[in-house]
Chain A
């Protein structure tokens, strides 16, 4: 303990220090105080070391459970595809709201709608719901009967990565309806 020395201290410090040491103060804490302090250190030591483990384990469990629940609750890509295709086949004509606006709706809503109102399922496909190009059907004559339905069909083809087919349909569409205002999103995605 006596690592310092008194070079920077006034004269007499060493002399008084010698007297202090000669007095040999030996008072120490009583044994029961020692025992209490050491017991407190043992109690705190291990628990403090592992204090983050229980909350971490709990958080990991919650995240895992949440992930499983979400995976089970939300339809996967294959399921959504079948919902969309079924909706198209059962209700080839989109309603009057038009594809661009309807693309905002959720897949969950679409699935529910397809059960109760088959025609509404046609408006349920979103940009994120990518349909394989092989499964994207060409627009039917009924869809080509009106510009809105036709554009809805083209939008579905774009969503299904059937860009070539969509461009073909779009070219046909612009020849048929040269002055019809095309939604900017579709025009941009067609690239023309």
Chain B
């Protein structure tokens, strides 16, 4: 990011490649399919336009998700409601190199996960995704969302409990998959 910040445009591409998938899924798990592309693009454009604001004292991942969180909040305000992802709208490509049964099972697990995530309160879902998908620490998540570490820990605890219970009710349960 520092190289990109200093004017080396080519330094952006590896940065983008590294974070694009996780950031896209961060949005995909929280908003409706029709909004994912726009929010994803908006987040990156804010990174690009505001590159001079980046300070190396923060990890780029935390910085990126801070921007993404703000994009999400702006979206919620604009929509005046929380748009949820639809479980039936799979946006995953087909799994390569696995048999039809495994592919079906994996697809079913994804659908179960998406459905379970959908029922989570917004704050818990975002905290969980920042933990699971973005790989941020509790401290980083707290900084991204702008709340305390213990609050984040509590949100993740509730989310995990809820997800585990939801997945246990499904045929592709946690204990029987993977």
Partner of B135, one of A2, A10, A26: A2
Task: Please judge, given known A-B contacts A18-B174, A23-B109, whether A45 and B20 are in contact too, CB under 8 Å.
Answer: no
Query: Does B8 lie within 8 Å of A45, measured CB to CB?
Result: yes
CB contact between A37 and one of B45, B109, B134, B160 (< 8 Å): that residue: B45
- Measured as residues with beta carbon below 8 angstroms from the partner, the interface class of chain A is 35 or more
Contact B164 A15 (CB under 8 A): yes
* Contact call A16/B163, Cβ cutoff below 8 A: yes
Known contacts A4-B137, A38-B13: A50-B160 contact under CB 8 Å: no
Q: For B6, what are the chain A residues with a Cβ–Cβ distance below 8 Å?
A: 49
Instruction: Give the contacts of A1-58 with B (CB-CB under 8 A).
Output: 1-4, 8-10, 12-13, 15-30, 33-34, 36-38, 40-42, 44-46, 48-50
Query: Known contacts being A10-B161, A37-B41, is A25 close to B174, with CB within 8 Å?
Result: no
User: Which of B40, B156, B157 interacts with A33 by CB under 8 Å?
Assistant: B40
Known: A1-B134, A16-B160, A29-B37. Is A24-B95 also a contact (CB below 8 A)?
yes
The reply to whether the CB of B84 lies closer than 8 angstroms to some CB of chain A is no
Whether a CB of chain A sits under 8 angstroms from the CB of B44 is: yes
On whether the beta carbons of A17 and B61 are closer than 8 Å, the reply is no
- Contact check, B48 vs A19: say whether CB atoms are below 8 A apart: no
Least CB separation from A2: chain B residue: B135
We find that the number of chain B residues with CB closer than 8 angstroms to chain A is 55
B154's closest neighbor in chain A, by CB? A10
Q: Are B13 and A10 in contact (CB under 8 A)?
A: no
Is B92 interfacial (CB-CB < 8 Å)? Answer: yes
Q: If the complex has contacts A1-B135, A18-B178, A22-B106, are A45 and B7 also in contact, measured as CB distance less than 8 A?
A: yes
Chain A residues within an 8 Å CB radius of B7: 45-46, 48-50
Q: A15-B174, A37-B41 are in contact. Are A23 and B113 (CB under 8 A)?
A: yes
Q: Tell me the residues in window 139-178 of chain B with beta carbons closer than 8 Å to chain A beta carbons.
A: 153, 156-157, 160-161, 163-164, 167, 173-175, 177-178
- Knowing A23-B106, A29-B37, say if A4 contacts B48 (CB, 8 Å): no
A25 neighbours in B (Cβ, 8 Å): 25, 28-29, 92, 110, 113, 133
| Cα separation A49 to B3 with both chains bound (whole Å) | 11
Point out the residues of chain A lying under 8 angstroms from B22, CB to CB. 1
**A19 contacts B109, CB within 8 Å?**
yes
Contact of A27 with B164 in the complex, beta carbons under 8 Å = no
Known: A10-B156, A16-B167. A21 touches B178 (CB 8 A): yes
Q: How far is the CB of B24 from chain A (nearest CB, A)?
A: 5
Q: Give the most central of B4, B48, B93: most A CB within 10 Å.
A: B48
Q: Which residue of A lies closest to B41 (CB)?
A: A33
- Name the interface residues of A136-160: CB closer than 8 Å to any CB of B: none
| Chain B residues whose CB sits within 8 angstroms of the CB of A26 once the complex forms | 21, 92-93, 95
Complex CA gap A42/B7 in Å reads 10
Q: List 11 A-B contacts (CB under 8 A).
A: A3-B135, A3-B137, A10-B153, A12-B161, A16-B174, A20-B113, A36-B41, A37-B41, A38-B13, A41-B4, A41-B9
